[in-house]
């Protein structure tokens, strides 16, 4: 029934909004609000499921992000449908913020200085084929000339990954004081520790957090390959910013651990753990769905 479909859609949007809010993003308007437009030839506005912002840790911008949440049966998703999601969201990102009404309906107080990101959170309710979905995304005919924008098309697999980040981060904040995400100083820009996980970090192979006394406990969220070379690259990257030697204990959170990862974990610990810093690998909780967000 249409009413059931609407309720499922609302619930899906609420879960995704909760997910991002728990990562430090801010919901700037009510969900499911249209952006009116004076564009010639267009009778209706642009429907936006949610509009979220976050302030860049390096002070470049406060970024605005247009979110589209889809809850579908996998059998109804095809290449043409995914391309349609992309084209529709790209149009909203390019034209919606230019509307005279956008500040009063979404970018309240004109907080965001740059709205150039669109996210489609596509949740398949009855199964999901990540290989097919990636092929659908690769087949999209991206316009050669388009405004500078970021469009993310995320299916069940990537949404579960973000849910694992949120779940682990939420648990750490309950177990330790002052858990913050670390943003290193860059050549001409100062970083710091923030209660925020940016879009760039959600797309990263790894990032670092600290808790308690900043010299006491460190946490690594790791999503790269579980082989020694990949772990070594991560280790050298973090050592470059003098993070590893400054902590007594470092926990490396990995999404898919098991007997197959034990040899490389043991090799890495033998090589780099001990002395002033102890290293331990830990598992992120597996996510079958996003229902845990209902109680957040």
- What are the pLDDT digits (tens) for 184-232? 888 777 788 999 999 999 999 999 999 876 557 899 999 999 999 999 9
- End of a domain among 154, 186, 202? 154
User: Of 134, 154, 174, which closes a domain?
Assistant: 154
**Do 177 and 138 share a domain, yes or no?**
no
Which pLDDT does position 111 carry in this prediction? Answer: 79
The string of pLDDT tens digits covering residues 103-153 is 777 877 777 888 889 999 999 988 899 999 999 999 998 876 666 778 999
CA distances from 243 to 35, 173, 232, 270, 277 (A): 44, 20, 14, 19, 11
Q: What is the dihedral of CA 209, 149, 109, 50, to 10 degrees?
A: -80
Nearest Cα to 182, choosing from 156, 147, 207? 207
Please give the tally of structural domains in the chain.
2
Q: Cβ(167)–Cβ(284) under 8 Å?
A: yes
Closest C-alpha among 156, 253, 250 to residue 212: 250
Q: Does the pLDDT of residue 3 top 50, yes or no? A: no
CATH code of residue 126: 3.40.1350
Report pLDDT for 294.
64
Would you give the DSSP letter of residue 261? T
Domain with 55 in it: 2-154
How far is Cα of residue 250 from the mean position of the Cα atoms in its chain? 23
Q: Given pLDDT bands bounded at 50, 70 and 90, which one contains residue 39?
A: low
pLDDT digits (tens, 9 = 90+) for 223-281: 999 999 999 999 999 888 877 777 888 999 999 888 999 999 999 999 988 777 889 99
């Amino acid at each position: 029934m249409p009413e059931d479909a609407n309720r499922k859609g609302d619930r899906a949007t609420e879960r995704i909004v909760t997910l991002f809010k728990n990562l430090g993003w801010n919901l700037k308007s009510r969900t499911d609000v249209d952006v009116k437009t004076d564009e010639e030839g267009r009778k209706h506005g642009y429907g936006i499921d949610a509009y979220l912002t976050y302030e860049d840790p390096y002070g470049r911008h406060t970024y605005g992000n247009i979110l589209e949440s889809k809850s579908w049966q996998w059998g109804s998703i095809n290449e043409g449908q995914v391309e349609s999601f992309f084209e529709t969201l790209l149009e909203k990102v390019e034209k919606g913020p230019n509307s005279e009404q956008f500040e009063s309906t979404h970018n309240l107080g004109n907080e965001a200085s740059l709205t150039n990101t669109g996210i489609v959170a596509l949740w398949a309710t009855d199964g999901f084929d990540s290989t097919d979905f990636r092929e659908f995304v690769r087949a999209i005919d991206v316009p050669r000339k388009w405004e500078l924008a970021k469009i993310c098309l995320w299916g069940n697999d990537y949404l579960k990954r973000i849910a694992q980040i949120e779940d682990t981060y939420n648990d750490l904040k309950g177990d330790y004081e002052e858990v913050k995400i670390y943003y290193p100083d860059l050549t001409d820009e100062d970083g710091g520790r923030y209660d925020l996980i940016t879009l760039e970090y959600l797309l990263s192979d790894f990032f670092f957090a600290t808790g308690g006394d900043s010299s006491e406990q460190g946490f690594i969220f790791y999503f790269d390959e579980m082989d020694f070379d990949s772990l070594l690259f991560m280790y050298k990257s973090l050592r470059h910013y003098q993070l590893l030697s400054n902590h007594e204990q470092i926990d490396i959170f990995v999404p898919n651990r098991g007997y197959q990862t034990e040899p490389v974990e043991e090799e890495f610990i033998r090589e780099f753990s001990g002395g002033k810093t102890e290293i331990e690998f830990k598992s992120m909780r597996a996510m079958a769905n996003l229902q845990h967000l209902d109680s957040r």
